[in-house]
Structure 1
């Protein structure tokens, strides 16, 4: 079965020459459809650069990246924008919600960019908010919600268009322990429903809750292993 994500000998070099920084230094990995993965590493390890590559937010200096069989490492900015819009649902640490829009308005926003008609996108946004347990908060603005609720809006926004990949960058970094648990349960539920969920984190406790852990250090994959305790679930 062809992997959903296939990265081969990827390098990302900043300031080539004497003071160059090898943010990624020969990374190769495959992620298959339906996996629940954590990419973990300390600050400066290269995990954020790898996330930018997987999310089509940046292109490598060398190496290849195939997503759904397409070589996205050679695409133009406009082509990458289309891939991001169609293939990837982003969840960020900082929520990135629009302050003057209510929850349903925030979830609808990416669907507008996809050209989805108003009735269809409103129904999709409502369904996504129900999935994350916010059916009673749809008309609330971010300032009227807790951090955990805001992050659930961000999750709903990421899943509303049913993208094949959910890419979560430190999704619990700004949350208390109760909200962290709730968000991880939602992400695990998305995985169990068939989504491919990739979490970028520095938190070992988060990594313990996924099925596969990729540990990156100094721009290289140091470990890639299955979390045995989660394999039967």
Structure 2
């Protein structure tokens, strides 16, 4: 089997160490391979958002190791983590986080500036990404001129424009109606089929049922890790 793209070993995240400490993550270990489509599922306070922050290099663990592409990123400095986020990771958030006075193309181009791409290259990648999410006709529209589903598609285009190997989606359908949610899930599935590693953070079991692998987290620990393929087959029971 090929090497995991992501390897987490006994990660802990402890806030307020001591008598009133909170163990947001309490010894989490997992491997995620290239091209996997994974849902990390848990209720509010389960630790799933803290885990996403670790996987997205937005935070570092109190202890334990995180390897991305074989590189130990668990003890890197902020500027090094920022560079990894820029090259390796694409983020999709529940709240879209679009700039209101920029059109769709401008919003998608913005992160590409930090990659020091020239204007023509930025525009090419942005337009390509917007066409990929079905917004080829709305590149000049501002967020206020688009529905919630369209705004989330702009956010996905922004996440994929630089072609990062890993897409992290935090409750990507949380603010959407059922039809828009369905459309967003189809786009994420297509990204997975094209070889991207897609990780969704969600509390929604209906979303989890559509994803091939589900990791359930509770009280900072992995409670279950299984595949949604011909029924739920526990990972511990399948051949590695």
TM-score (norm 2): 0.95
Task: Specify the alignment match of 2:25 in structure 1.
Answer: 24
Cα distance in 1, alignment partners of residues 20 and 32 from structure 2: 33
Cα deviation, 1:121-168, whole Å, max 9, x if unaligned, reads: 100000000000001100000000000000000000000000000000
Task: Specify the alignment match of 1:91 in structure 2.
Answer: 92
Cα distance in 1, alignment partners of residues 203 and 7 from structure 2: 23
How many residue pairs match? The answer is 231
| Residues 128 and 157, structure 1, Cα contact 8 Å, conserved in 2 | yes
Cα distance in 2, alignment partners of residues 80 and 3 from structure 1: 19
Cα distance in 2, alignment partners of residues 11 and 114 from structure 1: 32
Cα distance in 1, alignment partners of residues 54 and 89 from structure 2: 12
SS at match of 2:74: helix
Task: Specify the alignment match of 1:213 in structure 2.
Answer: 214
Task: Specify the alignment match of 2:82 in structure 1.
Answer: 81
Runs of 4+ in 1 over 2 A off after TM superposition: none
* Displacement after TM superposition at 1:230 (Å): 8.5
| Residues 211 and 230, structure 1, Cα contact 8 Å, conserved in 2 | no
Cα distance in 2, alignment partners of residues 64 and 140 from structure 1: 43
Cα distance in 1, alignment partners of residues 72 and 31 from structure 2: 14
SS at match of 1:24: strand
Unaligned runs of 5+ in 1: none
Cα distance in 2, alignment partners of residues 96 and 53 from structure 1: 20
TM-score (norm 1): 0.98
* Displacement after TM superposition at 1:112 (Å): 0.4
Cα distance in 2, alignment partners of residues 187 and 8 from structure 1: 27
Unaligned runs of 5+ in 2: 233-240
Taking only aligned residues, the RMSD between alpha carbons, in angstroms, comes to 1.0
